[in-house]
A and B are shown apart, each in its own frame.
Chain A
């Protein structure tokens, strides 16, 4: 679960500030309900103040900055996972109602609700008789 795919650097995170940490791609689940698309993204170590969701044209970018974990008088001696910031980019179709995107964060998991636009919901085409 912690083995996120490194997208940028492979360097150890030692002596780097938050902003300089490597970026990882959070693992995501996506499902579709009747009226929305739901994205779940694993972003451990990120709290709601350090999450950035931007939508430019059709590109949705999720960025999470981790809170630093430093322990006084303790040094890292064994490491099986690396810490870093999270970033993932999705291209949205026009079917998403961009004004009503909702996001919540719980236990390090971001839940993004992308409601379908009314156009996408009602796809029934009336057939007229001539």
Chain B
């Protein structure tokens, strides 16, 4: 599960109580927070994300420097968002040029993220500015919590 924090915020605690694994993941993240900074999480998967949220939507941002707009592919199926990117390697003329230092990475990256709500794919907006991808994912209207009014007899 990718967003234990998000899950626990959206769902009440008793939904998670019976799932030991989820608890473990949640605890490990809480420990990480204590040791590092408040929100830091380490990801072995790339691209890495920052997630912002409120009751009605989530915003995912990702740093993708050097990637062309055409090489970013975003797909949404129900509550899962998949981001595919391809960073092209700078091509050098082998006869006249050579590398002196290489620190930047390139190549294909694919990552899927499961959100704790159904995403309205038609209202999803994505921007790519200064090498930062920002995706705004609104929660589906029918998925939002409904307030039920109680009438007294």
Q: A residues near B, CB below 8 A?
A: 1-3, 10-12, 14, 27-34, 37, 40, 42-47, 67, 69, 71, 73-83, 107-109
Contacts and interface: CB of A to CB of B under 8 A. Distances in A.
Given A43-B65, A82-B40, A108-B130, A37 B52 contact: no
Interface in B24-69: 37-43, 46-54, 57-59, 61-69
A74 B54 contact: yes
A36 B66 CA distance: 21
Contacts of A42: 65-66, 104, 131
Chain A residues touching B, majority SS: loop
Interface of B: 3, 5-6, 9, 37-43, 46-54, 57-59, 61-69, 90, 92-93, 96-105, 128, 130-132, 134
B3 A1 contact: no
Given A11-B37, A12-B39, A78 B101 contact: no
Contact of B38 (A14, A31, A32, A37): A14
A78 B38 contact: no
Contact of B37 (A10, A27, A34, A81): A10
Given A45-B131, A45-B132, A78 B5 contact: yes
Nearest to B36: A10
B65 A34 contact: no
10 nearest CB pairs, A to B: A108-B131, A108-B65, A44-B131, A80-B48, A74-B52, A79-B39, A44-B63, A78-B51, A42-B65, A27-B103
A77 B53 contact: yes
A10 B37 CA distance: 8
Chain B residues touching A, majority SS: loop
Contact of B130 (A11, A81, A107): A107
Contacts of B98: 31-32
B97 to A, nearest CB: 4
B97 A31 contact: yes
Q: Which of B3, B40, B63 has the largest number of chain A CB atoms within 10 A? A: B63
Contacts of B63: 1-2, 44-45, 81, 108
7 contacts: A12-B37, A30-B99, A34-B97, A44-B63, A77-B5, A81-B48, A108-B131
B5 A40 contact: no
A80 B50 contact: yes
A77 B48 contact: no
A12 B63 CA distance: 17
Q: Which of A33, A42, A46 has the largest number of chain B CB atoms within 10 A? A: A42
B39 A1 contact: no
Given A1-B65, A80-B48, A107-B66, A44 B97 contact: no
